[in-house]
Chain A
Amino acid sequence: MSWVWLVPVLPLVGALVNGLFGRHISKRWVGWIGCSSIGLALIVSLGVLLDLLARPAGQQLFIQPLFDWMLGAQVAFQVDPLSALMIIVVSGVALLIHIYSIGYMSADSDYSRFFSWLNLFTFSMLLLVLADNFLLLFVGWELVGFCSYLLIGFWFRRPAAARAAKKAFIVNRIGDWGFLIGIFLIYVTFNSFDYQTVFSQAPGALVPGGALVTAITLLLFAGAVGKSAQIPLYVWLPDAMEGPTPVSALIHAATMVTAGVYMVVRAHALYALAPVSLELVAIIGAVTALIAATIALVHNDLKRVLAYSTISQLGYMFLAAGVGAYSAAIFHLMGNAFMKALLFLAAGSVMHALSGETDMRLMGGLYPKLKTTARTFLIGALAMSGIPPLIGFFSKDLILSETFARGHPVLYFIGLLTAILTAFYLLRAAFLTFFGRSRVRKELEPQVHESPPVMLWPLRGLAALSVLGGAVWISGTNFTPLEGFLRPVFADLPLKPEAVPAALGEGSLLIISVLAALVGIAIAWYLYLTRPSAADALARTFRPVYTLLRHKYWLDELYGALFVRPGIRLARFLATVFELRLLDGLVNGVGGLIDRSGGLLRRIETGYVRQYAALFLLGALGVLAYLFLMR
């Protein structure tokens, strides 16, 4: 376990080596360095997990201090079941994405730059989850933001990519503004940033439900809203697909957007004291899940649909955390990591086959040519839709039943509705891409080819994880090893909330979930395979709704009108009118005035020394008289 420092340091070394020397060594070596640094980190992480499991109950917390940083905060790593699980998920998924990138990026001239940044990204996320205090968490928090900026703008010559990168960073920083102030409040209250100190003193130092703890948790949540792309700050994530597809996979699955969920779960001791904040977290999560799913219904860009799907799934995670089902949130975080990485990488494989095409209207009928890609994508889509016995079924059903059981029927129904939509838009994507009539451009048709094995094996690996991963927590039975593993982290919480008399038993909820998924799939089947013309007819019939969704509720336009353009106008006004005409004009005016009044004063300058002396004396006496009288 004392090797845990290697987990973030190995990827950092990989990033430095490839960043400094990558241009001078062969691509083969660059790929090896990039992948092996993550692979070794994964091995160490697994070792840490085994160590942790071998420990007796009640001692599953290990802190490794490295050195003093600032204001009493140390650079120190904390290993507990939560962080151990996170480093395995992060390094595991990142490893598969790195391997995939060897194939996907093989033709890019900036191969070493890509691997260096990918490693740096993974390092930042590992640092974030291993931090033992809020300040170090914030380091990882900001670094993942910065790495996403780098990687979204990887193809920096494309203006759209450069814009999207900037947008991602700035929107994240808006959330970080709140996060930062939340950290200030924590320090002022506890005089420390350390998790142990803060969480253990919180019940005594904070009034449950009081303004202070509510403010702290809401401010921290503001950061999570930015990082995890929730309403109202989700606008950066759909644009983030301007980056290479492996980057999207990494951002959506492992190294960035899950940070907000992790943070809320990590700080559950604070959130437990702030019911208002928890309620808000749950509501924002549920509403985001629904809104993002509706947008995903009508978009034709494969990656964009997946991006909205991520926002929606993150909403589920916040819903779970908000109702107090923290373990379920982490379970879904893990499930989403597998499924979303799978979907994005499969989408990348399609793009690879079609020379970068992402418009699903120009796809269709690809199944015979891309069998592995299509099958794995379908597994991902079905898993995400909640078809048993895939992982998404278990994790999503758990969130829904917990939401219901903990007395939030409205949020439950929002979640259920979202589940139907999810099944619909994901299968719609699958059908439009792989089945039906081919709409591929004529000139591309002959070149359509399956990806090389180095890209297909990660797909198979992630598909296997999506199929088998659900076994770690089989709801409705007593086989819940993940829940048992995470339990020490939440030892401070009551094991089960006060029993709410459920109108529906767990079994019926299960059946309803499956039905929801099937309904969604059936509609997609009907609209896109059986009657392909019906979809357009629907869009025409519900034109206003369709337009609203196509324009993503005009949120980007709204922000543009409310903040961006007025901001630009204000900046221009200050820089020209205020700064140059007013302020500078004033100063120059004073200069001119002195110049002119020199003419007036010249009359006093009579040339008589005694007159000067008298004036000088008077002046000096006046000043001194004032100072002495006031003394």
Chain B
Amino acid sequence: MSFPILSLIVFLPAAGALLIGLLDRGQERLIRTVALGASLSVFALAVVLFFAYDGARGGMQFVEQAPWVPQLGIGYHLGLDGISLLLLLLTGFIVPLALLAPWEAITERVKTFSIMVLLLETAVIGVFLSLDLVLFYVFWESMLIPMYFIIGIWGTPKAGPAALKFLLYTMAGSVFMLIAIIALYFLSGPLGGRSFDLITLQSLTPGWSLALQVPLFLAFTIAFAVKVPLWPFHSWLPAAYTEAPTTGTVLLAALLSKAGIYGFIRFAYPLFPQAAALFTPWLMGLALIGVIYGALVAAAQRDLKRLVAYSSISHLGLVLLGVFALSPISLSGSTLQMVNHGIIVAALFWAVAAISGRAGGARTLDDFGGLMRPMPRLAALFTVFMLAAIALPGTNGFVGEFMILLGTFTQHRVYAIIGAATVILTAIYMLWMTQRVFHEEPRSQKHFADLRPREVALLIPLVLVIFWIGIYPKPFLGRLNSSVQQIVRQSSVQVQTGYDLLRSQVYRLTRSQVNGPAPANLRPGGRPR
């Protein structure tokens, strides 16, 4: 076995957390240095992997496989393909910035906080790299606990209920997935030949009947849908995003939502293609509602953080639309857009925090106005972030959004046409926000100092990535291509088969109950191809 670089990258943050645990609470400086060092090392390793990954070959690379609990068929199986590579990069990029970000920075219980963030990073990376269902589930649930504490301890005074709601809602969703994972195991073969391994299961499950696939698919879907969230499972989100400390909000919006989308791509669709095909129109409909609904509700918000939170629902809906459409173009676009969204939403939340920090915590649309004069640097940076959010060509948002919509258009035209209305809706609320905050006469007497060089320096990397992906996305798309093709191949075992299976099931049922001839449209082959 070659050097276990994936294990290193997964557990490096956890090791950092362990190290911090050994340090004295008073050594804040050292604690921060260790945390930053660990997360920066992860980023460095992610960059190394980015260059080492062979995009032309595609598929799972740097695979590590070892038995973990062999009696139960649980394995330790990690692998990296183009999709997980990009999400790994995103995680590696965001966490150090989140630790450095001075806006609403954490000053109390720094030790615990640093441990929580690092544990979260390990869990998120683990989710993106696991190829064994039990391993995946362990990481998946491990994301919750640090996040719960981050919201609850360092959030606003009202954060307690929000954190609890987040925890209960997402856990309730995950329980279904746990049941499905166990069922998958029992169904995977005779005693002794059972497995939790994704690659093994992927070769079995597509042959199963719809009656098996559908409940399993739905169980996974609920877990992922809550996590993203897919409309209408989003009602934990506004409270959690708003009451969490900014660092927590950024980690939630930029990283944890991606875990849900990744789950659809890696597990739900390839494992149960026929069931997925059956539910795809419904899922696309929900995603589309999320796009429109999120934008409309965002337009009616007064609180800046809530506004960005709802905009996130809208943008994530679009990413999901591209995933469900399951065309190579839209899936590439969705994966890229996950990175883009992570960067843009983090930038927007930080910008909001920078403004509200200077206004003593106020952050409604009525509290500002005319900030372009006292804060030209922030105004310029915010303009870039806003442009990326409204998908102006030249920014990363355009590349992702265009590919999602075009790819969807190749498969399901009406969905894409409705989804494309996002170009109008997003502009409405983002420009409204810009107008109220940066334009018009100042409504606040407070003094707004412009960003300090250190603050600018932290936001500049985000700007550079926004333009890099916007202008030259080739390095990213090139590494995605064959991985995406593979997912599409696995997940679309002929959409027709889904219908056929359903028809034969219904046919069997009707025939067994009524002893007459089945209606013509339910008879096998009765439907014109």
Interface residues of A (CB under 8 A from B): 19, 23, 67-71, 75, 135, 138-139, 142-143, 146, 149, 153, 156-157, 159, 161-163, 165-166, 169-170, 173-174, 176-177, 180-181, 184, 187-188, 567-568, 570-572, 574-576, 579, 583-584, 586-587, 591, 623-624, 627-628, 630-631
Of chain A, the residue at the smallest CB distance from B416 is A184
Q: How many residues of B are counted as interface, with CB atoms below 8 angstroms from the partner's CB atoms?
A: 60
Whether A71 contacts B299 by the Cβ 8 Å rule is no
Question: Cβ of B449 < 8 Å from any Cβ of A?
Answer: no
Question: Cβ of B63 < 8 Å from any Cβ of A?
Answer: no
Q: A166-B432, A574-B296 are in contact. List 4 more A-B contacts (CB 8 A).
A: A69-B472, A71-B406, A623-B179, A627-B215
7 contacts between A and B (CB under 8 A): A19-B380, A149-B431, A157-B370, A157-B439, A169-B431, A176-B423, A575-B300
Within 8 A of A (CB), among B492-508: none
Whether B472 contacts A67 by the Cβ 8 Å rule is yes
The distance in angstroms between the C-alpha atoms of A142 and B236, with both chains bound, is 36
Question: Cβ of B104 < 8 Å from any Cβ of A?
Answer: no
Most chain B CB inside 10 Å of its own CB: which residue of A23, A75, A142, A188: A142
Of chain B, the residue at the smallest CB distance from A142 is B393
Within 8 A of A (CB), among B74-116: none
Q: Closest 10 interchain pairs by CB? A: A575-B300, A630-B211, A162-B439, A139-B393, A156-B439, A571-B300, A184-B409, A571-B296, A575-B297, A166-B431
Interface residues of B (CB under 8 A from A): 165, 168-169, 179, 183, 186-187, 208-209, 211-212, 215, 232, 235-236, 238, 293, 296-297, 299-301, 329, 370, 372-373, 376, 380, 387, 392-394, 398-399, 402-403, 405-406, 409-410, 416-417, 420-421, 423-424, 427-428, 431-432, 435, 438-441, 471-474, 477
Whether A166 contacts B435 by the Cβ 8 Å rule is yes
Whether A143 contacts B392 by the Cβ 8 Å rule is yes
Of chain A, the residue at the smallest CB distance from B401 is A180
Most chain B CB inside 10 Å of its own CB: which residue of A70, A166, A628: A70
Contacts A574-B296, A627-B186 given; indicate if A170 touches B393 (C-beta within 8 A).
no
Whether A574 contacts B293 by the Cβ 8 Å rule is yes
Of chain A, the residue at the smallest CB distance from B428 is A170
Whether B431 contacts A571 by the Cβ 8 Å rule is no
The distance in angstroms between the C-alpha atoms of A181 and B424, with both chains bound, is 13
Residues of B within 8 A of A139 (CB): 393-394
In the complex, what's the smallest C-beta–C-beta distance from B492 to chain A, in angstroms?
18
Whether B296 contacts A570 by the Cβ 8 Å rule is yes
Which one of B406, B427, B428, B440 contacts A159 once the chains associate, using CB atoms below 8 Å? B440
Of chain B, the residue at the smallest CB distance from A180 is B420
Of chain A, the residue at the smallest CB distance from B409 is A184
In the complex, what's the smallest C-beta–C-beta distance from B26 to chain A, in angstroms?
41
Whether B441 contacts A170 by the Cβ 8 Å rule is no
Of chain A, the residue at the smallest CB distance from B184 is A627
The distance in angstroms between the C-alpha atoms of A173 and B426, with both chains bound, is 10
Contacts A166-B432, A188-B409, A587-B169 given; indicate if A173 touches B296 (C-beta within 8 A).
no
Contacts A142-B392, A162-B439, A170-B428 given; indicate if A572 touches B300 (C-beta within 8 A).
yes
- Interface secondary structure of B, over-half rule: helix
Whether A180 contacts B370 by the Cβ 8 Å rule is no
Which one of B296, B301, B370, B393 contacts A143 once the chains associate, using CB atoms below 8 Å? B393
In the complex, what's the smallest C-beta–C-beta distance from A173 to chain B, in angstroms?
5
Whether B424 contacts A188 by the Cβ 8 Å rule is no
Whether A184 contacts B235 by the Cβ 8 Å rule is no
The distance in angstroms between the C-alpha atoms of A503 and B214, with both chains bound, is 73
Which one of B297, B417, B420, B431 contacts A574 once the chains associate, using CB atoms below 8 Å? B297
Residues of A within 8 A of B432 (CB): 166
Whether B211 contacts A70 by the Cβ 8 Å rule is no
Whether B424 contacts A574 by the Cβ 8 Å rule is no
Which one of A159, A583, A591, A623 contacts B168 once the chains associate, using CB atoms below 8 Å? A591
Of chain A, the residue at the smallest CB distance from B187 is A627
Whether B431 contacts A157 by the Cβ 8 Å rule is no
Whether A631 contacts B420 by the Cβ 8 Å rule is no
The distance in angstroms between the C-alpha atoms of A157 and B423, with both chains bound, is 26
Whether B431 contacts A177 by the Cβ 8 Å rule is no
Which one of A162, A173, A184 contacts B435 once the chains associate, using CB atoms below 8 Å? A162
Most chain A CB inside 10 Å of its own CB: which residue of B380, B403, B432, B440: B440
Residues of B within 8 A of A187 (CB): 406
Which one of B186, B372, B424, B474 contacts A174 once the chains associate, using CB atoms below 8 Å? B424
In the complex, what's the smallest C-beta–C-beta distance from A370 to chain B, in angstroms?
33
In the complex, what's the smallest C-beta–C-beta distance from A386 to chain B, in angstroms?
38
Residues of B within 8 A of A161 (CB): 439
Whether A583 contacts B329 by the Cβ 8 Å rule is no
Whether B394 contacts A170 by the Cβ 8 Å rule is no
The distance in angstroms between the C-alpha atoms of A68 and B417, with both chains bound, is 27
In the complex, what's the smallest C-beta–C-beta distance from B52 to chain A, in angstroms?
22
Residues of B within 8 A of A163 (CB): 435
In the complex, what's the smallest C-beta–C-beta distance from A172 to chain B, in angstroms?
9
Of chain B, the residue at the smallest CB distance from A136 is B393
Whether A68 contacts B409 by the Cβ 8 Å rule is no
Whether A631 contacts B393 by the Cβ 8 Å rule is no
Which one of A138, A162, A177, A624 contacts B186 once the chains associate, using CB atoms below 8 Å? A624
In the complex, what's the smallest C-beta–C-beta distance from B287 to chain A, in angstroms?
16
Residues of A within 8 A of B424 (CB): 170, 173-174, 177
Of chain A, the residue at the smallest CB distance from B208 is A631
In the complex, what's the smallest C-beta–C-beta distance from B397 to chain A, in angstroms?
11
In the complex, what's the smallest C-beta–C-beta distance from B464 to chain A, in angstroms?
14
The distance in angstroms between the C-alpha atoms of A67 and B405, with both chains bound, is 23
Residues of A within 8 A of B183 (CB): 623-624, 627
In the complex, what's the smallest C-beta–C-beta distance from A51 to chain B, in angstroms?
28
Whether A146 contacts B387 by the Cβ 8 Å rule is yes
Of chain B, the residue at the smallest CB distance from A628 is B187
Whether B423 contacts A173 by the Cβ 8 Å rule is yes
Which one of B215, B380, B440 contacts A162 once the chains associate, using CB atoms below 8 Å? B440
Residues of B within 8 A of A153 (CB): 439
Whether A177 contacts B420 by the Cβ 8 Å rule is yes
The distance in angstroms between the C-alpha atoms of A583 and B297, with both chains bound, is 13
Residues of B within 8 A of A170 (CB): 424, 427-428, 431
Residues of B within 8 A of A177 (CB): 420-421, 423-424
Residues of B within 8 A of A583 (CB): 232, 235
In the complex, what's the smallest C-beta–C-beta distance from A397 to chain B, in angstroms?
39
Residues of A within 8 A of B236 (CB): 587
Whether B440 contacts A156 by the Cβ 8 Å rule is yes
Which one of B165, B370, B399, B439 contacts A70 once the chains associate, using CB atoms below 8 Å? B399
The distance in angstroms between the C-alpha atoms of A187 and B403, with both chains bound, is 11
Contacts A156-B440, A166-B431, A184-B405 given; indicate if A68 touches B474 (C-beta within 8 A).
yes
In the complex, what's the smallest C-beta–C-beta distance from B122 to chain A, in angstroms?
30
Residues of A within 8 A of B477 (CB): 70
In the complex, what's the smallest C-beta–C-beta distance from B278 to chain A, in angstroms?
15
The distance in angstroms between the C-alpha atoms of A180 and B427, with both chains bound, is 15
Of chain B, the residue at the smallest CB distance from A586 is B235
In the complex, what's the smallest C-beta–C-beta distance from A471 to chain B, in angstroms?
39
Which one of B186, B235, B376, B405 contacts A584 once the chains associate, using CB atoms below 8 Å? B235
The distance in angstroms between the C-alpha atoms of A157 and B299, with both chains bound, is 22
Residues of A within 8 A of B329 (CB): 71
The distance in angstroms between the C-alpha atoms of A552 and B296, with both chains bound, is 29
The distance in angstroms between the C-alpha atoms of A335 and B431, with both chains bound, is 35
The distance in angstroms between the C-alpha atoms of A351 and B417, with both chains bound, is 45
Whether A571 contacts B393 by the Cβ 8 Å rule is no
Residues of B within 8 A of A586 (CB): 235
Contacts A170-B424, A584-B235 given; indicate if A630 touches B212 (C-beta within 8 A).
yes
Most chain B CB inside 10 Å of its own CB: which residue of A69, A176, A184: A184
Residues of B within 8 A of A188 (CB): 409-410
The distance in angstroms between the C-alpha atoms of A341 and B432, with both chains bound, is 31
In the complex, what's the smallest C-beta–C-beta distance from A266 to chain B, in angstroms?
18
In the complex, what's the smallest C-beta–C-beta distance from A193 to chain B, in angstroms?
10
Residues of A within 8 A of B403 (CB): 70-71
In the complex, what's the smallest C-beta–C-beta distance from B330 to chain A, in angstroms?
11
Whether A143 contacts B394 by the Cβ 8 Å rule is yes
The distance in angstroms between the C-alpha atoms of A586 and B473, with both chains bound, is 43
Whether B393 contacts A138 by the Cβ 8 Å rule is yes
Residues of A within 8 A of B420 (CB): 177, 180-181
